[in-house]
Amino acid sequence: DGGITQSPKYLFRKEGQNVTLSCEQNLNHDAMYWYRQDPGQGLRLIYYSQIVNDFQKGDIAEGYSVSREKKESFPLTVTSAQKNPTAFYLCASSIDSLGISNEQFFGPGTRLTVL
């Protein structure tokens, strides 16, 4: 059963703490992405990775960090430097980011709340 998973579904953290969101895919996709979505807003790109051991900043990378040590995994760390981290975080993957197709497969999302 192929797909993309995110965990946890809900996450609470105290101000000043770092937290890591998990994203795993078994679709054998090269490219992976992290988006942030605020209430009533569209998706904004945080980071993306076109291949293992490589990643690039998106539009709103400040206060976030990622790693891509394995093809199937692309964890996102929300650091204490992120001033307003409460949001819905979505991970996605695609066959590759250089191909013609824009089809991305999305995970179910993680809702992060900072207390």
65 near another protein, judged by CB under 8 A: no
Work out whether 82 is an interface residue with another protein (CB under 8 A): no
Q: Using alpha carbons, list the distances in angstroms from residue 77 to 23, 70, 106.
A: 11, 16, 18
1 near another protein (CB under 8 A): no
Q: For another protein, which residue of 92, 93, 112, 114 counts as binding (CB under 8 A)?
A: 92
Torsion of CA 26, 28, 34, 40, to 10 degrees: -70
Cα(107)–Cα(4) distance, rounded to whole angstroms? 5
CB of 69 closer than 8 Å to CB of 22: no
3-state secondary structure of 45: strand
Kindly tell me which residue out of 87, 93, 104, 112 binds another protein, with binding defined by CB under 8 A. Answer: 104
Q: Which is nearer to another protein, 80 or 88 (CB)?
A: 88
> Out of 17, 41, 53, 113, which residue is the one contacting another protein (CB under 8 A)?
41
Which residues are at the interface with another protein (CB under 8 A)?
Answer: 35, 41-43, 45, 48, 50, 58, 88, 90, 92, 97-98, 100-109, 111
